[in-house]
Amino acid sequence: MTTLPSKLFLIGYRAVGKTTVGQILAEKLGATFLDTDALILEEINKPISEFFKLEGEAAFRDVETQVLQAVCSREDSPLVISTGGGIIVREENIDLLRENGTVIWLRASVETIQKRLHLDPETQANRPGLTGGSAVDEVSQVLTSRLSLYERCAHTTIDTDPPKDISMVVAEILGQFKY
State pLDDT tens for residues 13-25: 999 999 999 999 9
Would you state the pLDDT for residue 175?
A: 94
The residues that bridge with 32 in the sheet, in sequence order, are: 79
Domain containing 31 equals 2-172
Residue 34 in any domain: the answer is yes
Q: Over the Cα atoms of the chain, what is R_g?
A: 15
Q: Is residue 177 part of a domain?
A: no
Residue 179 included in any domain: no
Q: What is the percent of the chain where pLDDT is above 70?
A: 91
pLDDT tens track for 45-55: 999 889 989 99
Q: Would you say residue 126 has pLDDT above 90?
A: no
Mean pLDDT of all residues in the chain? 92
Check pLDDT > 70 for residue 65.
yes
- At 128 the pLDDT is 56
Q: How many domains does the chain have?
A: 1
Residue 22 lies in a domain: yes
d(CA 136, CA 157): 23
pLDDT at 2: 80
> Is residue 178 one of the residues assigned to a domain?
no
What CA–CA distances, in Å, run from 163 to 8, 10, 20, 158, 173? 25, 20, 17, 13, 16
The pTM assigned to this predicted structure is 0.92
pLDDT for res 119: 84
Report pLDDT digits (tens) over 71-122.
999 999 899 999 999 999 999 999 999 999 999 999 999 999 999 988 876 6
CATH number of residue 76's parent domain: 3.40.50.300
